[in-house]
Amino acid sequence: MAIDRYDTRKLNNPVYALRCLWQGLVLLPRPSLRRFVLIPLAINFLLYAGAFALASYYFADFLAWLIPSWLDWLEWLLWPLFGLAFILITFFSFTLVANLLASPFYDKLAERTEELLTGTAPQPPETSLTRAVMREMGAELRRLWYFVTRAIPLAVISVIPGLNLAAPFLWLLFNAWFMGLEYTAYPLANHDILFPEQRRLLARAKLGNLTLGGVVMFGIGVPLLNILVPPAAVIAATVYFVGARKGQN
């Protein structure tokens, strides 16, 4: 199987995942990658500006509705907890839209990053430009469907009194996992490892994927930094897999 090319013990190492994230930021301004970074940066800027405006406008009303009156005595704890979850979920939702629009550029960014690291470009499936764009956007829509079908039960839990105390923790854990799935998809797709196999591979490296996705998730919640995080995450994910490929120096 294609996924057996990778050392899952290394992929599961959170320290290794953090090193890859740092290298993603370091490589971001490289001239050979710049053309595949600038358009996603513009998309991210426009969408995250909208997310920030939306979060600012609805933040207080949403938390007042979500926290029942009988929990007023815990408001000092619940406000920052639910507030963090609300901000991250808002930016996370806009990230899904941004990635859908930028997915063809991220695919090329992962390809060029691998070429920069190894000297050899991956050989994605032979196809026309139109089909390649449709393939990437189709993959993005499949990941979006995966997210929606799991977010709905979490949304239900979020509005059930008592149970909703666990909701912020569940949301943060799920979002971290999904962010890992989202950004590792691009370098894997260049080796024809698509969503079902990707999930099987990362199921063997849960801690590494949660580390990578968790740092990306919190970075997306920080204004201005969140413009840079998505393309840096694509580069980091490419470093993550190239460095864990069996036989790779």
Residue-level pLDDT at 64: 59
Q: What torsion do the CA atoms of 165, 166, 167, 171 make, to the nearest 10 degrees?
A: 140
Mean pLDDT of 101-112: 85
Structure confidence by residue, pLDDT tens digits, 127-141: 555 666 666 667 767
- Percent of the chain exceeding pLDDT 70 equals 69
**Residue 232: pLDDT band by 50, 70, 90 thresholds?**
very high
Of 6-10, 49-53, 102-106, 195-199, highest mean pLDDT: 6-10
Residue-level pLDDT at 40: 80
Q: Is the pLDDT of residue 233 over 90?
A: yes
**Region of 121 on the Ramachandran plot (φ > 0 left; ψ -120 to 50 alpha; else beta):** beta
Number of H helices, E strands in the chain: 9, 0
Q: Is the pLDDT of residue 68 over 60?
A: no
Structure confidence by residue, pLDDT tens digits, 42-63: 776 776 666 666 666 665 665 5
Domain positions in the chain: 2-244
Residue-level pLDDT at 244: 93
Residue-level pLDDT at 207: 96
Handedness of CA 197, 198, 200, 201 (dihedral sign): positive
Mean pLDDT of 198-210: 94
Mean pLDDT of 184-191: 90
CB contact at 8 A, 43 and 98: yes
CB contact at 8 A, 159 and 168: no
Residue-level pLDDT at 210: 96
Amino acid at 83: G
Give CA–CA dist 122/110, Å, rounded: 9
Amino acid at 227: I
CB contact at 8 A, 142 and 148: no
Residue-level pLDDT at 79: 55
Mean pLDDT of 114-129: 76
Of 16-25, 27-36, 90-99, 195-204, highest mean pLDDT: 16-25
Amino acid at 88: L
